[in-house]
Amino acid sequence: MDIKTYGDYPIGDVLLASCDSKYFIEHAPAFMRSAIKFKQNLHIHIVNPTDEVKQYKNKCSNFENLTFSSEQTDLSNIDERTYYACNRFIVAPYLLQYANKAMILDVDNYLMNSFRWPDGGYDAGLFLRDPLPGTVGWEQESTHVAAGIVYLHMKKPETLSFAVDVSDRIRQAENFVWFLDQNVLWKAYNDWKDKISFYKFERHIMDWEFKNGTMLWTGKGDRKHSDETYVGQKNKYTKEFNESCNI
């Protein structure tokens, strides 16, 4: 699978997310507003952007901390949901080649407190956990990792090699099935854990129960549509962003 991207190449310390046009309209404004509020550079990669998304994106050009890239990819013979979930890891080593540090996140994540980058000179970072209760086989193996947050120190050659390895494993997978991104991250971690240093994220960093004091809220399953706390915050951020862009 060959992916051709076009657009910006972010520099410095940057947050990276990827999505299709539907998710961009639904979630990106709130994420962008949260990045502006907490003074973080944010790069969003859009798969097959529609004209509506292109027009929306152009209205964001006055914000120096926001950058964008896109791709046109035929998804007629692939599970689109899985591709969208995996895309940010496919494009990361190529979009981020000029970046310093990068945090790969879901586009339905929102910053809720000052952003804290891993310290101590770590090469990469993963949210490792016990597999989800009641899972077996592929799902049990895959849920050793929550893919909603991945850290990469892009100035270290070994980290870039790790990121390329993750991208290659996904692109070369025989089947694009749900949990592919998490499965690849888990297997790559086990192959690389003796070669590079990994920071291990915990729940005070990424939270899907939307508690006060956590750095990052992430939408999971139906909660992104039904949880009043999450939806209320998303709507607040979205309104603020649209007003700042006269949308």
The DSSP string of 5-49 is: EEE----EEEEEEEEEHHHHHHHHHHHHHHHHHTT-EEEEEEES-
Q: Is the pLDDT of residue 93 over 90?
A: yes
Q: Distance between CA 138 and CA 128 in Å, rounded? A: 16
The mean pLDDT value for 137-147 works out to 93
pLDDT at 146: 92
pLDDT at 128: 94
pLDDT at 220: 78
Q: Is the pLDDT of residue 130 over 80?
A: yes
Give Cα separations from 229 to 106, 210, 224, 232 (angstroms). Answer: 18, 7, 10, 5
Per-residue confidence band for 158, with pLDDT thresholds at 50, 70 and 90: very high
Q: Distance between CA 102 and CA 100 in Å, rounded? A: 7
How crowded is the C-beta side of 40, counted as CA atoms within 13 Å? 29
pLDDT at 143: 93
pTM above 0.85, yes or no: yes
